[in-house]
Amino acid sequence: MEKLEHLLELGGTKKDITLLVISGIALILSLTKAIPLPFDIAWVSIILCGVPIVLEAIIGLVTAFDIKADVLVSLALIASVCIGEDFAAGEVAFIMQLGALLENLTVAKARAGIEKLVHLTPQTARIISGGSEKTVPAEQVKVGDILRVLPGESVPVDGIIISGQTSVNQAVMTGESLPVDKSVGDEVSSGTVNQFGTFEMRATKVGEDSSIQRMIRLVQSADAGKAKIVGIADRWATELQEKVYKTLDSLEIPYERVDTDEAITMEDCVLIDEKLKMKMVKTLFLCNRQQTLFYLFITVGDKPFRSKDFSTALGISRVSFAPAELMDKMLGTKIGAATVFSALLSSAEDVQIIFDRDVLKEEFYGCSDGTTTGYMKIKTDDIIHKVLRFAKRNHSVIEV
């Protein structure tokens, strides 16, 4: 199967465009019957566009019993050929492959955006301490540190200006074409560029909590793999997402839901919070150095995470973020979609569920439904006393 997958990926986008052009011409000739042939020339489209769809469906079924839209399309293609509707079969194959190509191009554009964001991530910061200035790696900045930013430099972390005034280019965050004037008391975001004056700022969000890092994580939600035929059938085909909504329906738990595009911006995050009239929780998948102990930590969305504080509260050794492949294997999600609903999966049995006490103080709980396109608002009591009880999962509560 691996060789077959490799064969299908050969040639890339240029091959896909070429096959689509040839198939499109064949369909036009079939419709107009411009060239008399002993067979319907629509078969060119069926072979060039339809066969890859059928092969993708077979690979998914054999390797992972993955029933997605390509399986349904394959059945439609085969049925059309069986009843003699060759043009219809070729037309469906052409349209679906055209959609897959457009999606490929969209994903590639999103990935290019990620690379640009990574390059914009500040590497160093100027910390002011005891009247002296020293340059340190940006990841070493802590909340409350006083930083100095010179003209032409990128803002290393999120913070508030405490002295000086300047104009800041915020295009990377907001898309604004003109610099925005900033003075004492104004907020500045990491990754934005100081245009003119020197200013000093107090760090408020650092590391993974900074705006630029959060944006990178969200954009990484875009699937970088070979784009498959994606539709409604795909979106509801994951085991976790099915379990989430079946469980909520069976337990008669009310919820509000907001849908977004997969590669979302910072403005979209704000829009989600506004639509649900609350802030999403922050769900982190953590593990020890040996990757033998795993934790799903749910904390307040705007609270900075410090590994040391978490480890101290639990009385364990220092933890770090678990690899993305383990998130997929154990939680049934990918980066940007970690959720407490993973407790419904048997693969997450070895993951300890830890709540920040501040989360439990809120009436409502906002989180992902297990995807990067669906977010929901649900009563906190329903999560604790209904969902987790239904899943037969215990949880711990800590203060950090």
What pLDDT sits at residue 262?
Answer: 57
Candidate from 167-176, 180-189, 261-270 with smallest mean pLDDT: 261-270
| Identity of the highest mean pLDDT range in 115-124, 176-185, 219-228 | 176-185
Supply the mean pLDDT for the chain. Answer: 83
At 9 the pLDDT is 63
Task: Name the more confident of 228 and 352.
Answer: 352
Q: What band does 175 get if pLDDT is binned at 50, 70 and 90?
A: low
Out of 142-146, 235-239, 256-260, 322-326, least confident range: 235-239
Distance of CA 110 to the CA centre of its chain: 11
For 180-200, the DSSP string reads EEE-TT-EE-TT-EE-S--EE
More confident residue, 224 or 391: 391
294-353 residue pLDDT tens: 999 999 988 888 888 999 999 998 898 888 889 989 999 887 788 999 999 999 999 999
pLDDT at 172 over 80: no
Q: Which residue has the higher pLDDT, 398 or 213?
A: 398
pLDDT above 70 coverage of the chain, percent: 83
CB 158 within 8 A of CB 189: yes
Q: Where in the chain is the domain with CATH 3.90.960.10?
A: 238-398
Q: Which CATH class name applies to 122-205?
A: mainly beta
Does pLDDT of 71 surpass 90?
no
149 sits in which H/E element? strand 146-149
Residue ranges of the chain that CATH labels 2.70.150.10? 122-205
What kind of fold does domain 238-398 have according to CATH? YbaK protein (3.90.960)
Q: In this predicted structure, which of 1-10, 159-168, 256-265 has the lowest mean pLDDT?
A: 1-10
Question: Given pLDDT bands bounded at 50, 70 and 90, which one contains residue 65?
Answer: low
Q: Residue 230: its pLDDT value, please?
A: 46
| Strand 351-356 relative to strand 395-398, pairing | parallel
Q: Break the chain down into helix, strand, coil percent, rounded to 5.
A: 45, 20, 35
Please tell me the predicted confidence (pLDDT) of residue 116.
64
The C-alpha atoms of residue 161 and residue 146 are separated, in whole angstroms, by: 10
Dihedral Cα 190, 193, 196, 198, nearest 10 deg: 30
Contacts (Cβ under 8 Å, ≥6 apart) of 361? none
- Residue 72 has which token pair? 């349904």
Question: What predicted TM-score, i.e. pTM, was given to this entire model?
Answer: 0.46
From residue 76, give the alpha-carbon distance in Å to each of 57, 63, 73: 12, 22, 5
**Confidence label for 221 from pLDDT (cuts 50, 70 and 90):** low
Is residue 113 over pLDDT 80? Answer: no
What pLDDT score was predicted for residue 387? 95
| pLDDT(263) > 50 | no
235 pLDDT higher than 60:
no
Model confidence over 5-21: pLDDT tens digits? 566 666 677 888 888 99
pLDDT value of residue 177? 64
Residue 370: the pLDDT is 87
pLDDT attached to residue 101: 85
Give the pLDDT of residue 170.
82
Give the pLDDT confidence score for residue 232 in this predicted structure: 45
User: What is the mean pLDDT of the segment spanning 241-248?
Assistant: 89
Question: What is the pLDDT confidence band of residue 373, given thresholds at 50, 70 and 90?
Answer: confident
CA 338 to CA 369: how far, in whole Å? 9
Q: Is the pLDDT of residue 161 over 90?
A: yes
| Burial tier of 152 (Cβ tally within 10 Å: 0-12, 13-18, 19+) | exposed
